[in-house]
Chain A
Amino acid sequence: MKMRTFIIRRLLLLIPVLIGVSIFVFMLTRIAGNPAAAYITERMTPDQIAEIEARYHLDEPLVVQYIYWLQGILHGDWGYSKVAKLPVTDAIKEFFPATFELTFTSIIIAVVIGIALGTISAVRRDTPTDHGTRVLALAGVCLPVFILALILQFTFAYQLGWFPVTGRFDDQLYNDVSFQDYRITGFLLVDTILRLDWIRFYDAVWHLVLPAICLAFGSIAIITRIMRGSMLEVVNQDYIKTARSKGLPEKVVVKKHARRNALIPTVTVIGLAFGGLLGGAVLTETIFAWPGMGQWAAAATVYNDWASILGFTLITALVYVFVNLIVDVMYAYLDPRVRLE
C-alpha cells in the first residue's frame, strides 16, 4: 500500500470514532441536567419554560437534539465557561498555549531520556546501571504524578529554593507591562524569544523545569521499559551479528544498527504515553498552579461547570486522536510492513 493510501484510509477510520466521541459527550451533557436550567427562573410559568425548551430544541427527540447540538459544536458554539467567564472556545484558546508548552516540553524530555536510558540499560544488561534504570522505571510507573509533584515541590522549591513553587512566570517581572499585552502567540517561551527578552525567557524556563520533569517522569518510565525490551530483542538479530563480524566498532553497531530498529516499537508507545501525559497534566497543573487547560478543567469540576468540563473532554479527545494519527503514520513510515496489512 502506498503511504498516501494508508493516510487516507487512516483518516476515513477516524470519522466513526469522532462521531462516537461526539455522541458520548452529547449524552453526558444530557445526563448532566436540563441544559435549559440556566435560562429558567422560579417565576416562569410552564408556558414560558416550554417556550425556552422549544427555542433550544429540547422538546424534540434526542436524535434531533443531537444534530442541533453537533451543528452548534461545528459552528464553534461550545457553551459558556462559568469558571473562565468566557465562551468555552475562547477559554480553550486562552489556556491551550500553557498546556501545550508544558506537555510538549515533557514529551521531548521523556523521549530523549527514555530512549537514552533504555539503550544504556539494554547494552549494559544485568549491570548496576541496568538495575538502577529498571528501579527508576518501576518507580515512574508506580508513583502517582501528584505525589511526585509534591515531593519535587517540597524538596527543590520549598526546602532548597532552587525553583519557584508554583506559577508560570514571576508576576514582578510583568509590573510595567500587563501579561495580556505582552503575549503575541500565548506561548511564553516563543513570545519572549520573539521579543528578544532574555530575562523573561529565563524566568519562563525556570518556572517550567519542575512541572515538566514531574509530568515527564511517568512517560520516561514507559518509554525506557519498551526501549530496553526492543533493544534486547534487536541485539540478537542476525544483522547485528553481521555488523559486528564485519568489524564495525561497537558504537556504530549500537547507534546505527541496533537503536534505529529498536526505535520502531518505541514510537507506538509515545502515542500511548501522550494520553497519560494529557491526564497527568490535569494533576500537575493543579498542583503547580499552571494556568493551562488542566487547571481550568479541575477548577470547573469544583463549580459543576459542565460546559467547561465537556469542552475540555472534547478538545483533549481531538488532540489525542490527532497525535495518535501522527504516531501511526510515523510508524508506517518507519516500518513499511505495517502498511501492507
Chain B
Amino acid sequence: MRRILAGPWLSLLLLLILAGVATPLWGHAVLMQSKPAANSTVTGPDLPIWLRFNVRVDGKRSRLTLVAHDGSTLAVPAPRQTAPDMLESQVTGVKPGAYKLQWRVLASDGHMSSGEVEFTVK
C-alpha cells in the first residue's frame, strides 16, 4: 500500500525504485466461464472441469491444480482443448469439501496468466 511517488519529473527516482516496486502489467488471459462455476456447489466424486478464456490459450503449456481446504493438492490430468479458448479435464475420486481450482495458462501472445476458482463438492 505504501507508495512514495514524487511526480513524473522525478523520473530518476522512479527509475531507481522501479526495480523495487514494479510488478508486471500482464495478466492477459481472462477466465470468462468455468465449470465448476465460482462459489458453486457440485456433486462428486467425479469432477468434470472446463474453463473458457477470452483469448486463445496454449493447452500444452497450461497447468491446472486442485487444492483442498487442508492445503493438499490433487493431480489434474493435462488439460485437452476442444476449442482454441477452452481447457478441459476431469478429476476422479474427489471427496466432499471446499476446493480451489488453480489455473495457470499461456496465451498465444506469450503472456502467462493465473487465477483460481473456489467451489464446494458435496
The answer to whether A and B belong to the same complex is no
By a beta-carbon cutoff of 8 Å, the part of chain A in contact with chain B is none
By a beta-carbon cutoff of 8 Å, the part of chain B in contact with chain A is none
